[in-house]
Structure 1
């Protein structure tokens, strides 16, 4: 795939208490196959769909046993160190210092002032997603926040996003564009979210049939949080896997309603 612009989604991964259980879950749900994880890289295990890289699963590292399983989104950058300076200047914090990952690339994990974790990836030999926007792969992500002022101010200072606001009195939703193309959504959390749910980035994975995917998730021990629901973007449902990692499945071929206006 071509080089992604600064701030575009480029990769996704998740750490789990039980790596084998996670492989079984996502393998059956999304049809993923898995590379052999190497000990020198902490058994970080790349997932593939149709032979193409679509994400990765990993076991929790020592000392992280009390951290819930969660999906993590990586945003593209051409210079991690320069991006770190922007993150700090915008009020963000680092989970750890930037790290070179062999010749694959360079990364850092950070947190915005509203508490949202995300990562940056400066590609080396690993260019990120080889497949996206198709069943079995990453389709979309929404920065889901309780504090829009902090989140908007941060992300829009760190990345060159063009901001488009959805014209809808019932929802506070922005679209962040790069080079005129939508890259991420920004959704304000409502009272429908339990107070224990922190601000986070919600990853969408494309499926052939949303209802069938929801039924499979239940069979595999996962949980349905919301939906399925029709929209102009596709039929979707918010779910969690059997280890508690939240995400959304979407059938982008089944749409209903007119596309919303953006201002």
Structure 2
């Protein structure tokens, strides 16, 4: 898998994540205890109201470097979820491209102060992802290291529908991988790089029989951890759940977890170096 850069994100490279939560303060306690993150509030340019303190987003730091944000849900009907954002030099143009390719624009591009411009869109199956056009804020200051983002993949029902979408929208080069437990998997590499595991920045899996029948298409965000089993045990101790117990894959050891408010994510421990 490709190293995720901390500056100069090319189009289609994951550059930021945030969690939409009912209770940001509870999220800070959970992720602070799980990953050792620290937090600071930041302004988004919204006009503060009577409930401003409860609505203030928090930026998360690991070893003093920005890794994610926790944001309050503006509407109880919104999902409690981790979102991933992909870099683009022009969020307005890319949002139009998404629509022309069969996706939908959920939130049209809007400036976030001087930080940049953000949009939320979906693929043709409804999986939600973000676009980020950097202003003063490019995105991750730490990634691919313990307690920070390391990978993302979209779970889809029909690769024949979504693969052409992402590969036309972002210019990805695709690489089909051997099936794991009967599930087809495709890696995506940024435009201009040779496709393959060494350059991949994300991928596409399929919603298999292991998922509930009503499970919609969605992105799963991964965090690198030093100890997958310990992270799963810690999640339980903090009031979260383990959706998939730790298991080994070709890229290390992983588990799928759910925080104490219902947001799902995965953790990945790097493989042991050969002795």
TM-score calculated relative to the size of structure 2? 0.89
1:183-202 to 2 correspondences below 5 Å: 183-202=201-220
Cα distance in 2, alignment partners of residues 148 and 245 from structure 1: 25
Cα distance in 1, alignment partners of residues 83 and 176 from structure 2: 25
Which 5+ residue runs of structure 1 have no aligned equivalent? 257-263
Check if 1:133 corresponds to 2:138.
no
Check if 1:173 corresponds to 2:191.
no
Check if 1:160 corresponds to 2:178.
no
Match of 2:59 among 46, 50, 68: 46
| Partner in structure 2 of residue 94 of structure 1 | 105
Which 5+ residue runs of structure 2 have no aligned equivalent? 1-5, 47-54
| Partner in structure 2 of residue 259 of structure 1 | none
Match of 2:69 among 56, 69, 78: 56
Q: CA deviation at 1:78?
A: 0.6
Check if 1:114 corresponds to 2:125.
yes
Match of 1:235 among 232, 242, 253: 253
The count of residues paired between Structure 1 and Structure 2 equals 254
Cα distance in 2, alignment partners of residues 105 and 85 from structure 1: 18
Check if 1:33 corresponds to 2:46.
no
**Residues 199 and 84 of structure 1: is their aligned pair in 2 closer, same or farther, counting only changes over 3 Å?**
same
| Partner in structure 2 of residue 209 of structure 1 | 227
Q: Report Cα offsets for 1:9-48 as digits up to 9, x if no partner.
A: 0000011111111111111101110012448555121100
| Partner in structure 2 of residue 145 of structure 1 | 156
**Residues 152 and 242 of structure 1: is their aligned pair in 2 closer, same or farther, counting only changes over 3 Å?**
same
**Would the aligned equivalents of 2:24 and 2:57 in 1 still touch at CA under 8 Å?**
no
**Residues 214 and 163 of structure 1: is their aligned pair in 2 closer, same or farther, counting only changes over 3 Å?**
same
| Partner in structure 2 of residue 260 of structure 1 | none
Q: Report Cα offsets for 1:174-226 as digits up to 9, x if no partner.
A: 00012231111110111110112211000001111011110100001111111
Which piece of structure 1 moves more, 153-162 or 165-174? Answer: 165-174
1:65-104 to 2 correspondences below 5 Å: 65-104=76-115
Cα distance in 1, alignment partners of residues 212 and 35 from structure 2: 28
TM-score calculated relative to the size of structure 1? 0.92
Cα distance in 1, alignment partners of residues 179 and 161 from structure 2: 21
**Would the aligned equivalents of 2:153 and 2:220 in 1 still touch at CA under 8 Å?**
yes
Q: CA deviation at 1:66?
A: 2.0
Cα distance in 1, alignment partners of residues 163 and 60 from structure 2: 32
Q: CA deviation at 1:84?
A: 1.3
Cα distance in 1, alignment partners of residues 129 and 208 from structure 2: 21
| Partner in structure 1 of residue 51 of structure 2 | none
**Residues 35 and 13 of structure 1: is their aligned pair in 2 closer, same or farther, counting only changes over 3 Å?**
same
